[in-house]
Chain A
Amino acid sequence: MAGTASGGSRRSRLAPYLLVAPGILWLLVFFVVPTLTLAQTSVTGTEGPWWEAYHRALSNYGTHFFRSLRYALGATLLSLAMGYPLAYFIAFRAGSLKNMLLGLVVLPFFTTFLVRTFAWKTILNDGGPAVWLLKQLHILGEGGRLLDTTIAVVGGLTYNFLPFMILPIYVSLEKIDRRLVEAAEDLYSTPMGAFRKVVLPLSLPGVFAGSLLTFIPATGDFINAQLLGSPNQQMIGTVIQNQFLEVRDYPLAASLSFVLMAVITVGVLAYARVLGTEELA
């Protein structure tokens, strides 16, 4: 009988592992295995040494990498600048409108990414309303365009990823106990001081999550640059897509993907460090 008893306790000790097993399995099959395959592709199938594809990736596509990072950073900063005040308003001031406003933030997701970006193409078109208006205001010159410019691509990225910035910030703001703000004001902080010393630090986890959710997919994005930009605005995602689907240079495409992953990982770690130390101060 002792055997059954110990069997029971062994089962209960295994329970947590059994609970995470489906998730682990999913990641193994759909993430780890493809990544390993990709890694293998990146170092085989070329004539030269194993790093030949990486060499080509770094020497020929440096500008694309830097452009992608710049655009993604721009889109992230713009999203933050627009998203934080909006999330703050929804969390602290919207009152009974809160749920409706949150609904509006999520509403664009009801149409697909592709269709929405195409809609932007229509809006920014040479004969479209945006160009017409800017020309009327003499902001844009006679031959001026919006489409195929950096503004269009960064704008499109910002538009597409803005909800991913707003929602995590909203959640972290929503969680803040309003009495903390009262306590700060009771302790001689002006409303602005209370925001700076209490609300902002406590919402940093949301800012961090929102920035990652915007920056990472924006860096690898290939739709916005393709639809709203010219070859001069080409981002690394477009190059990878092109190499995989058109040129079919698989080793190059795979090595470009790994370089992108490495760059993003380094960037994220650096960012985490900055925000992390700020939180401790």
Chain B
Amino acid sequence: MPLTHVSNTPAAPTAADPSRAESREPVITLEHVVKRFGSYLAVQEAHFAIGRGEFFSMLGPSGCGKTTTLRMIAGFEQPTEGRIVLDGKDVSRVPPYRRNVNTVFQHYALFPHMSVADNVAFGPRSQKVGAEETSRRVDQLLTVVKLAQFADRKPGQLSGGQQQRVALARALANYPQALLLDEPLGALDLKLRQAMQIELKRIQREVGITFIYVTHDQEEALTMSDRIAVMNEGRVEQIGTPQEIYHSPASVFVANFIGVANLIPAVVEHANGTDATVVVAGSRRMAVPAGAWPPRPGAAATVMVRPERLRLTSQAPADGRGVPVTVEHAVFQGPVVRCTLRAADGTGIVAHVGPEQSLPALEPGLPLWIGWDLDAGRLLPPDTVGADAQPFVKADLRHTMGRASLPRL
């Protein structure tokens, strides 16, 4: 099994791995890594490879083990089981100061008693690269992060965003094999955050170094990453490109965590590897692509459709992929009308209705049909993990929204 697959997650099959990332030479490999704190299982069976030059994100709710995974790669924690391989060498027991990876800490951890230039020079000086080369790197990196004119200031005299960039320059000045970033933009306000996202992406392209980026912000992960690992309760649920994660989530958890997902309960009628026929809403029989999950006939399943892929019609769709619903309410949101609907079995549905769909006035109680294209639906394992695994905002909304969920606000 290639390392880019996630093993041992029976409820969460992997989507097809991206050829793009597979073709890269791996720079960091986690092999069956487990981390326990006492009896608490913080990370279970992390098993994946990160390619050279890749922008790799780890995404997941608070406490899912992102920081712990990153700290194991940096060397601040040692895996309880498994190996971490850096550039072909097992570094599982190597202390941080002998690993060629560098960290950008969430709260920057700049040395307050040193100037910006001395902060950036810290790593090269510790590695004894020589005064000339050190000052060349300091100049180079301060130029990259556009802080050359602040070289003599102390960190305390800089704004939050500037400190963030110093932390970045300080880590990059060592020309590491990988840069580890733990929610580096977490302390910044929204505007600065967005500006820094673009800035980070530019710098990563410019220096061509592997970035391992921890965040709990799905939008940030989607816009910046080459690949994303979605984590939940210490498990990696899925690894894939942003498109794969969004369009072909491997589990209900992933579907819910990234964007808005409609989750329609279904029963598998028959299945043949990649395609399945399921029964939805008691009697509607329809074909659904099964992805990597191998469904068995008679098994419970979930059909996932994104709100923007739903079509609302007055009549049952001709292709049979349709469910009767009634309108609960509709909110005009500019580009789309966000329409909350309910199926006969109580399942809540959210549809984003664009102006191209001509419909009668969406009054509460209006009976309609939802339909979707064959490739818009995904067959997922049933939501066995339950409401606990959902971010709390979604859990709160469940009683009003049925099984549909909203993005985090």
CB-defined contacts of B98 to chain A, threshold 8 Å: 188
CB-defined contacts of A197 to chain B, threshold 8 Å: 111, 122
Q: Residues 88-123 of chain B: 1 if any A CB is under 8 Å from the residue's CB, otherwise 0? A: 000000011110001101010111110000000011
Please tell me if B170 contacts chain A, counting CB pairs below 8 Å.
yes
Q: Residues 356-377 of chain B: 1 if any A CB is under 8 Å from the residue's CB, otherwise 0? A: 0000000000000000000000
Residue from the set A182, A183, A198, A202 with the largest chain B CB neighbour count within 10 Å: A183
Task: Pick the contact of B103: A180, A183, A189 (CB < 8 A).
Answer: A183
Task: Pick the contact of B97: A177, A179, A185 (CB < 8 A).
Answer: A185
B105 touches A179 (CB 8 A): yes
Please tell me if B76 contacts chain A, counting CB pairs below 8 Å.
yes
In the complex, what distance in Å separates the CA atom of A188 from the CA atom of B128?
Answer: 10
Interface size on B, residues (CB 8 A): 23
In the complex, what distance in Å separates the CA atom of A87 from the CA atom of B190?
Answer: 42
Please tell me if A193 contacts chain B, counting CB pairs below 8 Å.
yes
- Residues of chain A from 159 to 186 with CB closer than 8 A to chain B in the complex: 177, 179-180, 182-186
B97 touches A186 (CB 8 A): yes
Q: Residues 50-61 of chain B: 1 if any A CB is under 8 Å from the residue's CB, otherwise 0? A: 000000000000
Please tell me if A187 contacts chain B, counting CB pairs below 8 Å.
yes
Please tell me if A190 contacts chain B, counting CB pairs below 8 Å.
yes
Residue of B with least CB distance to A180? B109
In the complex, what distance in Å separates the CA atom of A198 from the CA atom of B95?
Answer: 18
B141 to chain A, nearest CB (A): 13
CB-defined contacts of A267 to chain B, threshold 8 Å: none
In the complex, what distance in Å separates the CA atom of A179 from the CA atom of B74?
Answer: 13
Interface size on A, residues (CB 8 A): 18
B97 touches A189 (CB 8 A): yes
In the complex, what distance in Å separates the CA atom of A197 from the CA atom of B123?
Answer: 12
CB-defined contacts of B400 to chain A, threshold 8 Å: none
CB-defined contacts of B76 to chain A, threshold 8 Å: 182, 186
B127 to chain A, nearest CB (A): 5
- Residues of chain A from 185 to 212 with CB closer than 8 A to chain B in the complex: 185-190, 193, 197-198, 201-202
B97 touches A201 (CB 8 A): no
CB-defined contacts of A185 to chain B, threshold 8 Å: 95-97
A186 touches B113 (CB 8 A): no
In the complex, what distance in Å separates the CA atom of A65 from the CA atom of B32?
Answer: 71
B103 touches A186 (CB 8 A): yes
Q: Residues 38-73 of chain A: 1 if any B CB is under 8 Å from the residue's CB, otherwise 0? A: 000000000000000000000000000000000000
B174 touches A188 (CB 8 A): yes
A182 touches B96 (CB 8 A): yes
CB-defined contacts of A193 to chain B, threshold 8 Å: 97, 126
Task: Pick the contact of B122: A179, A187, A190, A201 (CB < 8 A).
Answer: A187
B109 touches A188 (CB 8 A): no
Task: Pick the contact of A187: B95, B102, B112 (CB < 8 A).
Answer: B102
Please judge, given known A-B contacts A179-B107, A182-B76, A182-B96, whether A187 and B113 are in contact too, CB under 8 Å. no
In the complex, what distance in Å separates the CA atom of A188 from the CA atom of B75?
Answer: 12
In the complex, what distance in Å separates the CA atom of A183 from the CA atom of B102?
Answer: 9
B96 touches A186 (CB 8 A): yes
CB-defined contacts of B107 to chain A, threshold 8 Å: 177, 179
CB-defined contacts of B171 to chain A, threshold 8 Å: 186-187
In the complex, what distance in Å separates the CA atom of A279 from the CA atom of B113?
Answer: 7
B111 touches A198 (CB 8 A): yes
CB-defined contacts of B122 to chain A, threshold 8 Å: 184, 187, 189, 197
CB-defined contacts of B110 to chain A, threshold 8 Å: 183
In the complex, what distance in Å separates the CA atom of A57 from the CA atom of B124?
Answer: 57
Q: Residues 292-330 of chain B: 1 if any A CB is under 8 Å from the residue's CB, otherwise 0? A: 000000000000000000000000000000000000000
A190 touches B97 (CB 8 A): yes
Task: Pick the contact of A180: B95, B111, B126, B174 (CB < 8 A).
Answer: B111
Residue from the set A185, A190, A198 with the largest chain B CB neighbour count within 10 Å: A185
Task: Pick the contact of A183: B95, B105, B113, B174 (CB < 8 A).
Answer: B105
Please judge, given known A-B contacts A179-B107, A179-B109, A180-B111, whether A186 and B102 are in contact too, CB under 8 Å. yes
In the complex, what distance in Å separates the CA atom of A279 from the CA atom of B111?
Answer: 13
What are 25 A-B interface contacts by the 8 Å CB criterion?
A177-B109, A182-B76, A182-B103, A183-B103, A183-B105, A184-B126, A185-B95, A185-B97, A186-B96, A186-B97, A186-B171, A187-B122, A187-B123, A187-B170, A187-B174, A188-B97, A188-B126, A189-B97, A189-B122, A189-B126, A190-B97, A193-B97, A197-B111, A197-B122, A201-B113
- For the complex of A and B, the 8 pairs showing the least CB-CB separation, nearest first, are A187-B123, A188-B126, A183-B109, A179-B109, A185-B96, A189-B126, A186-B103, A185-B97
B-binding residues in A (CB < 8 A): 177, 179-180, 182-190, 193, 197-198, 201-202, 279
Q: A183-B105, A187-B170 are known contacts; what are 8 more A-B pairs with Cβ within 8 Å?
A: A177-B107, A182-B105, A187-B97, A187-B122, A188-B97, A189-B97, A197-B122, A198-B111
